[in-house]
Amino acid sequence: MAKTRLKRFITPSPASKGDYIQIDCNYDTDITDYNIRAEIFDNRSSVGLRKATTNAGGGDTEIEITTATSGLFSIYLATNDTLYFEGDVQIEIELEDTSGNRFVVHKGYIQLEERKITW
């Protein structure tokens, strides 16, 4: 039976809107050949981002499995990805195992603040 939650979810808190953000995750199970998808969204402004591993239609610049046997992966939000979000955003992370079973392993928030340096 698959685990239903991440062991660890690390993101800068708070992060500045418009900054490059790296989110490190640990599923604590071998995720070799898993598909990973994430959706980051803001219900106030209807802005959303979709990120995925290469085998799920994305790329290593979106979600990278860093140590598959330990369940480690990172989600990358490029500079300006979060620029148009209003306030804190929600994130949902889904894994798909090699049998095609899909399960949400994390639902949470990323705290965003307005950036002060704009020059």
Contact 50, 36 (CB under 8 A): no
Average pLDDT value over all residues in the chain: 89
Residue 16, domain member (yes or no): yes
Q: State how many domains the chain has.
A: 1
pLDDT tops 70 at residue 35:
yes
Residue 30 or residue 9, greater confidence? 30
Residue 118, domain member (yes or no): no
Contact 40, 24 (CB under 8 A): no
Q: What digits encode the pLDDT tens for the residues 43-58? A: 787 789 999 999 999 9
How does residue 117 score in pLDDT terms, banded at 50, 70 and 90? Answer: confident
Q: What digits encode the pLDDT tens for the residues 76-92? A: 999 889 888 887 899 99
pTM: predicted TM-score of the whole model, two decimal places: 0.89
Residue 3, domain member (yes or no): no
Domain extent at residue 60: 8-113
Q: Give the CATH number, domain containing residue 104.
A: 2.60.40.10
Residue 106, domain member (yes or no): yes
Residue 39, domain member (yes or no): yes
Amino acid (1-letter code) at residue 11: T
User: What is the reported pLDDT for 2?
Assistant: 56
Average of per-residue pLDDT across 4-9: 75
